[in-house]
């Protein structure tokens, strides 16, 4: 069994990972920061040193389990192996889980966009609503994810906005299958796992939990995305439960398509058998049409991204080439800078000679044209045709010789020297500005000054600076490009996977019947009962959270009052009146109410099992 190399004790209850611990967990994870606290334990952002660069950030969920019994560990491991094999763009990837001492740890994909609950609160506070097209796209993504898991006989049991994450604006469902891993698979386990606002009537009444119960929760999420509020609300736990069990399903505002409202109502049917499966919703004509649109949009996004990427790369290459050319020029100039005065002089001569060569060519051309002209004159004076030809040929030959057979190289000029040229037929104007007529100063410093020219403007320092700048720039650009590429790759891979899922659904129609009732095949130990250790952990967290919200003193008073009220069957109004005297809003006591409900449930099952068990403290 893997062991944490460093654990820190929080109070006397259990040992946990420390946020400041730089030690390696399970030989590969280091804690970066605490992300939050969930109903089962603490959640950390960790870095996985064994993963590829772009996949290093992961999430570690730690929950205190006390000493797990060996069979529980084996079952949890089997469950974890199953979960780690699942792969869908709308499901938060489950990597692995392990136990260390009193901590059970789960490693999952990290979603940088936070959870949907946070996003909804953000929009609500800003007075904004999600565009309809966005809601439909997200809803379809959730349906695809749920369908994938249900096809594999895996239930979520705790679908809620807080368990849905945003990554590159795509939704990913977290904790799919995790409740069974943590809590076991009996009805009571579901009640303990689930969040009342999203719980189906049958789950609340212990009438069994199946895929259709997840569909109910998904309906609640659809409503929440449209209205930024829970589908069933109430100021205390029991009033919410009553609404879920008895009230009609709420409707979407008229601004939403009636077909979407029809889908919502079907998902919130009280009778699970009347609810459609995820597969059936995806197949319905309204959602199927939206799915087609979404597939096209996503496929275009991939194409645009590819074009944009290649454009970016092309722009990068062009700018790199331009910089290289610039750098080469600078380098060439810097070579000149490094030359001795004599070498510079030679170079200067070369350049002048090149100029002369050009002018010679020009002259030859002129001479040739003159010859032609002269021949035409001769012809017009009735010279013999042959002679004309001969003359013409010889004239051309001379001209060609002048033009082509004397390639004027710099070396030639260096070897022959300037005087030779001035002595030749070439007019003296070609040598007019030739500095060779002056003596080259032998002292390099004086020579330097003497031949001070345009080259001097490019000093070595400026060239070096340019080069450094260039290298820095190239480095930064490379990093930028690689980040863009890797960001796009990751994003693309999710979008591409999503397009593949949509194509599968649209083309093959390979949707399961959706009436799955038998769940994950039971492990070797058979169907798992409630993991009472986990249930106790959850209750303890609930109690701690309520104390934190209300303060210890008020918590105790509210807790005592609600317990007695339950026994005395006190009316709702009386309860509300009392609570409002104690706290600002009666709904602040929701958690205490839920805690009492869970405690009753747990003591009931403990009594049934013939071993009374206190889960308090």
Measured from the CB atom, the residue of 200 and 269 that comes closer to ligand ADP is: 200
Task: Confirm or reject binding of residue 92 to ligand ADP (CB under 6 A).
Answer: yes
Task: Confirm or reject binding of residue 75 to Mg ion (CB under 5 A).
Answer: no
Task: Confirm or reject binding of residue 39 to ligand ADP (CB under 6 A).
Answer: yes
Task: Confirm or reject binding of residue 165 to ligand ADP (CB under 6 A).
Answer: yes
Measured from the CB atom, the residue of 108 and 277 that comes closer to Mg ion is: 108
Task: Confirm or reject binding of residue 598 to ligand ADP (CB under 6 A).
Answer: no
What is the C-alpha separation between 31 and 18, in angstroms, rounded?
A: 8
Instruction: Considering only the stretches 71-79, 167-175, 237-245, 395-403, report the one whose residues sit in contact with Mg ion under the rule CB under 5 A.
Output: 167-175
Task: Confirm or reject binding of residue 163 to Mg ion (CB under 5 A).
Answer: yes
β-pairing, 29-37 vs 164-167, is unpaired
SS3 state at 324: helix
Beta bridge partners of 91: 173
Could you tell me if 440 and 345 are in contact, meaning their C-beta atoms sit under 8 angstroms apart?
A: yes
Could you tell me if 199 and 217 are in contact, meaning their C-beta atoms sit under 8 angstroms apart?
A: yes
Could you tell me if 160 and 117 are in contact, meaning their C-beta atoms sit under 8 angstroms apart?
A: yes
What is the C-alpha separation between 281 and 215, in angstroms, rounded?
A: 10
Pick the catalytic residue: 158, 175, 214, 492? 158
Q: Which does 43 bind (CB under 5 to 8 A by kind): Mg ion, ligand ADP, none?
A: ligand ADP
Distance of closest approach, residue 176 Cβ to ligand ADP, in angstroms: 12
Among 7, 16, 61, 516, interactor with ligand ADP by CB under 6 A: 61
Task: Confirm or reject binding of residue 102 to ligand ADP (CB under 6 A).
Answer: no
Could you tell me if 263 and 223 are in contact, meaning their C-beta atoms sit under 8 angstroms apart?
A: no
Q: Which does 165 bind (CB under 5 to 8 A by kind): Mg ion, ligand ADP, none?
A: ligand ADP
Measured from the CB atom, the residue of 115 and 210 that comes closer to Mg ion is: 115
Position closest to ligand ADP via CB: 38
Q: Nearest Cα to 59, choosing from 76, 41, 73, 45? A: 45
Beta bridge partners of 31: 46
Could you tell me if 525 and 574 are in contact, meaning their C-beta atoms sit under 8 angstroms apart?
A: no
Site for ligand ADP in 113-132 (CB under 6 A): 114-115
Distance of closest approach, residue 41 Cβ to ligand ADP, in angstroms: 7
Measured from the CB atom, the residue of 163 and 594 that comes closer to ligand ADP is: 163
Task: Confirm or reject binding of residue 174 to ligand ADP (CB under 6 A).
Answer: yes
Q: How far is CA 224 from the centre of its chain?
A: 25
Instruction: Considering only the stretches 21-29, 102-110, 123-131, 591-599, report the one whose residues sit in contact with ligand ADP under the rule CB under 6 A.
Output: 102-110
What is the C-alpha separation between 568 and 586, in angstroms, rounded?
A: 19
DSSP code of residue 354: H
Q: Which does 39 bind (CB under 5 to 8 A by kind): ligand ADP, Mg ion, none?
A: ligand ADP
Task: Confirm or reject binding of residue 175 to Mg ion (CB under 5 A).
Answer: yes
Task: Confirm or reject binding of residue 36 to ligand ADP (CB under 6 A).
Answer: yes
Element (H, E) at 364: helix 341-380
Among 64, 97, 108, 269, interactor with ligand ADP by CB under 6 A: 108
Distance of closest approach, residue 540 Cβ to Mg ion, in angstroms: 17
What is the C-alpha separation between 576 and 225, in angstroms, rounded?
A: 29
Distance of closest approach, residue 145 Cβ to Mg ion, in angstroms: 15
Task: Confirm or reject binding of residue 62 to Mg ion (CB under 5 A).
Answer: no
Which residues, 6 or more positions from 100, have their beta carbon under 8 angstroms from its beta carbon? 1, 2, 3, 4, 7, 25, 26
Measured from the CB atom, the residue of 38 and 208 that comes closer to ligand ADP is: 38
Task: Confirm or reject binding of residue 42 to Mg ion (CB under 5 A).
Answer: no
User: Quick one: three-class SS letters along 13-66?
Assistant: CEEECCCCCCCCECCCEEEEEEEEECCCEEEEEEEECCCCHHHCEEEEEEEECC
Distance of closest approach, residue 72 Cβ to ligand ADP, in angstroms: 20
Could you tell me if 213 and 159 are in contact, meaning their C-beta atoms sit under 8 angstroms apart?
A: no
Measured from the CB atom, the residue of 157 and 162 that comes closer to ligand ADP is: 162
Which residues, 6 or more positions from 460, have their beta carbon under 8 angstroms from its beta carbon? 334, 337
Alpha-carbon distances, residue 48 vs 89, 426, 483, 491 (angstroms): 21, 79, 19, 20
Active-site residue 115, yes or no?
Answer: no
Q: Which does 82 bind (CB under 5 to 8 A by kind): Mg ion, ligand ADP, none?
A: none
Name the residues that contact Mg ion, by CB under 5 A. 38, 163, 175
Residues that bind ligand ADP (CB under 6 A): 35-36, 38-40, 43, 59, 61, 92, 108-111, 114-115, 162-163, 165, 174-175
Enumerate the active-site residues: 158
């Amino acid at each position: 069994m893997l062991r944490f190399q460093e654990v820190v004790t929080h109070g006397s209850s259990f040992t946990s990972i420390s946020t400041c611990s730089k030690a390696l967990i399970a030989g590969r994870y280091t804690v970066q920061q605490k992300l939050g606290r969930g109903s089962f334990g603490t959640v950390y952002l960790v870095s996985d040193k064994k993963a590829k660069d772009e996949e290093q950030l992961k999430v570690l969920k730690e929950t205190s389990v006390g000493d797990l019994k060996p069979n529980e560990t084996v079952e949890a491991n089997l469950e974890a192996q199953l979960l780690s094999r699942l792969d869908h763009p709308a499901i938060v990837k489950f990597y692995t889980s392990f136990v260390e001492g009193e901590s059970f740890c789960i490693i999952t994909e990290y979603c940088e966009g936070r959870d949907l609950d946070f996003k909804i609160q953000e929009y609500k506070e800003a007075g904004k609503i999600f565009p309809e097209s966005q809601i439909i796209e997200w809803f379809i993504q959730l349906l695809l994810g749920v369908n994938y898991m249900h096809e594999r006989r895996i239930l979520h049991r705790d679908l809620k906005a807080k368990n849905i994450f945003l990554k590159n604006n795509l939704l990913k469902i977290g904790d799919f299958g995790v409740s069974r891993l943590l809590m076991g698979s009996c009805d009571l386990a579901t009640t303990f796992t689930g969040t009342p606002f999203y719980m189906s009537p049958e789950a609340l009444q212990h009438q069994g939990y199946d895929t259709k119960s997840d569909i109910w929760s998904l309906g609640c999420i659809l409503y929440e995305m449209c209205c930024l509020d829970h589908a069933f609300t109430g100021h205390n736990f029991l009033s919410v439960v009553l609404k879920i069990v008895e009230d009609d399903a709420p409707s979407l505002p008229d601004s939403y398509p009636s077909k979407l409202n029809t889908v919502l109502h079907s998902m919130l049917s009280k009778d699970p058998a009347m609810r459609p499966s995820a597969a059936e919703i995806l197949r319905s004509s309204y959602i199927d049409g939206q799915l087609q649109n979404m597939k096209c949009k996503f496929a275009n996004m991939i194409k645009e991204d590819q074009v944009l990427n290649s454009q970016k790369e092309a722009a990068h290459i062009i700018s790199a080439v331009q910089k290289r050319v610039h750098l080469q020029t600078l380098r060439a100039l810097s070579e000149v800078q490094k030359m001795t005065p004599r070498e510079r002089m030679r170079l200067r001569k070369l350049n002048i000679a090149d100029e002369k060569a050009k002018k010679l060519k020009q002259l030859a051309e002129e001479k040739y044209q003159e010859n032609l002209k002269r021949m035409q004159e001769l012809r017009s004076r009735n010279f013999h045709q042959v002679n004309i030809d001969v003359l013409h040929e010889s004239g051309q030959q001379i001209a060609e010789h002048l033009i082509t057979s004397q390639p004027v190289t710099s070396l030639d000029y260096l070897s022959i020297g300037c005087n030779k040229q001035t002595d030749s037929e070439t007019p003296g104007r070609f040598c007019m500005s030739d500095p060779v007529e002056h003596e080259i100063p032998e002292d390099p410093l004086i020579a330097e000054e003497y031949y001070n020219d345009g080259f001097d403007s490019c000093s070595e320092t400026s060239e070096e600076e340019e080069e450094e700048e260039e290298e820095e720039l190239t480095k930064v650009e490379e990093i930028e490009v690689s980040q863009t590429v890797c960001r796009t790759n990751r994003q693309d891979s999710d979008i591409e996977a999503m397009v593949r899922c949509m194509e599968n659904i649209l083309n093959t129609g390979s949707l399961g019947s959706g009436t799955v009732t038998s769940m994950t095949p039971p492990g070797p130990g058979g169907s798992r009962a409630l993991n009472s250790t986990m249930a106790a952990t959850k209750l303890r967290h609930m109690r701690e959270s309520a104390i934190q919200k209300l303060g210890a003193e008020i918590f105790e008073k509210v807790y005592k009052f609600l317990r007695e009220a339950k026994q005395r069957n006190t009316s709702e109004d009386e309860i509300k009146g009392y609570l409002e005297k104690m706290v600002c809003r009666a709904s602040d006591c929701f958690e205490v109410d839920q805690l009492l409900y869970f405690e009753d449930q747990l003591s009931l099952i403990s009594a049934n099992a013939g071993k009374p068990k206190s889960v308090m403290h």
